[in-house]
Amino acid sequence: MSSYLELSARQRIPHIFDAGSFEEFLPPGARIVSPHLAQLDAPVSFDDGVVVGRGLLDDQVVFGAAQEGGFMGGAVGEVHGAKLVGMLRRAVDEGAYAVLLLLESGGVRLHEANAGLIAVSEVMRAILDVRAAGIPVIVAVGGANGCFGGMGIAARCANTVIMSEEGRLAMSGPEVIETANGVEEFDSKDRALVWRTTGGKHRYLLGDCQVLVADDTDALRAAAIAAMANVRDGAALTLEGLQAEQAMLEQRIRDFGDAADPLDVWRRLGVPEPAAVPMLEADAFLAMAAQYRAGPGIGEN
């Protein structure tokens, strides 16, 4: 058992893909760095915080990426986004078996302003283009920085989202909510609340992520392999899928719109001991959650 959370993006790749199979596009030696950060006299990174390339996953050709949460919180700048988009387009051109995105990002890199915003929207479009080509897109979220902002949306454009218990997935991050709406609305320093609200278990119970695993590289790899096979037929986004998603979200508002805390949501789902959920190990949690999860989301095919 080895922790996925503790690894850097570059270390995660050989743990998740078949050992030694990954070929990186635009490796650090190419020195494709952010022109915006240099203009601001800020530190750059030789890979602009993301590893992209092509490897084997269970002997299938799978294109992939890993975002480095340590560099500017994994935030997406122009180069970072362009690397993701280029990899996704090439996955279509070369008929990849699947795409696996190891996401860890606070969203748009604010230093790069509009270029970063455009980059993230291009990533979303590229993910949907991959799906339209019949290629499954699998996202894994298990890094310390979670997956927020535009990349949170991008994650939910995938067929399957795999999360660890420690992973977090949301739109606005805790500090953003507190800054915009006040500490009474959301106390970003309350770590238990933050994980209850954005963490893997809540996302799994609500159906926002389809697979929950312990923080273990082998478990994440196994989940990614299983997910590729599960969405082989029907990777494309359909009108029916979108309408089902809309109905699911409307139902969620009706069911839980007035709930102040995820504990209330879990109680309404029928979970017998909501307060005990955060302490459950992954296996015990999954055994308990199976009968209480809300309906499957758009990603589940």
Partner 1 sequence: METLHFRFDAGSRPLPGAPQLVGVVSSGNLEVLIEPAALNGGCEIEVRTAANGFGATWEAVMRDFHARWQLMDTRICINDMGATPAVVSLRLDQAVESVTGGPP
Q: Tokens for 201?
A: 């278990």
Q: Give me the least distance between CB of 107 and partner 1, in Å please.
A: 17
DSSP summary character for residue 108? B
Q: What is the largest CA-CA distance in the chain?
A: 55
Q: Is 20 in the site for partner 1 (CB under 8 A)?
A: no
Nearer to partner 1, 41 or 184 (CB): 41
Q: Which stretch binds partner 1 (CB under 8 A): 67-75, 92-100, 190-198, 274-282?
A: 67-75
Q: Is 170 in the site for partner 1 (CB under 8 A)?
A: no
Q: Is 216 in the site for partner 1 (CB under 8 A)?
A: no
Q: Cα–Cα distance between 26 and 79 in angstroms, integer?
A: 11
Angle of helix 9-16 versus helix 217-230 axis, rounded to 10: 60
Are 137 and 157 spatial neighbours (Cβ–Cβ below 8 Å)?
A: yes
Q: Is 41 in the site for partner 1 (CB under 8 A)?
A: yes
Q: Is 278 in the site for partner 1 (CB under 8 A)?
A: no
Q: Is 71 in the site for partner 1 (CB under 8 A)?
A: yes
Tokens 């590229």 locate to 126
* DSSP H or E segment with residue 213: strand 211-213
Are 86 and 119 spatial neighbours (Cβ–Cβ below 8 Å)?
A: no
Q: Is 43 in the site for partner 1 (CB under 8 A)?
A: yes
Q: Give me the least distance between CB of 19 and partner 1, in Å please.
A: 16
Question: Which among 64, 152, 52, 138 is positioned nearest to 105, based on CA atoms?
Answer: 152
Q: Is 29 in the site for partner 1 (CB under 8 A)?
A: yes
Q: Is 66 in the site for partner 1 (CB under 8 A)?
A: no
Q: Cα–Cα distance between 276 and 48 in angstroms, integer?
A: 41
Of the residues 45, 67, 159, 301, which one makes contact with partner 1 according to CB under 8 A: 45
Q: Is 4 in the site for partner 1 (CB under 8 A)?
A: no
Number of residues in contact with partner 1, rule: CB under 8 A?
Answer: 16
Q: Is 10 in the site for partner 1 (CB under 8 A)?
A: yes
Q: Give me the least distance between CB of 261 and partner 1, in Å please.
A: 32
Q: Is 47 in the site for partner 1 (CB under 8 A)?
A: yes
DSSP-based three-state secondary structure for 34: coil
Q: Cα–Cα distance between 243 and 50 in angstroms, integer?
A: 33
Q: Is 35 in the site for partner 1 (CB under 8 A)?
A: no
Nearer to partner 1, 27 or 207 (CB): 27
Question: Which among 47, 49, 11 is positioned nearest to 29, based on CA atoms?
Answer: 47
Q: Tokens for 94?
A: 């070369």
Q: Is 180 in the site for partner 1 (CB under 8 A)?
A: no
Residues that bind partner 1 (CB under 8 A): 8, 10, 27-29, 31, 41-47, 68, 70-71
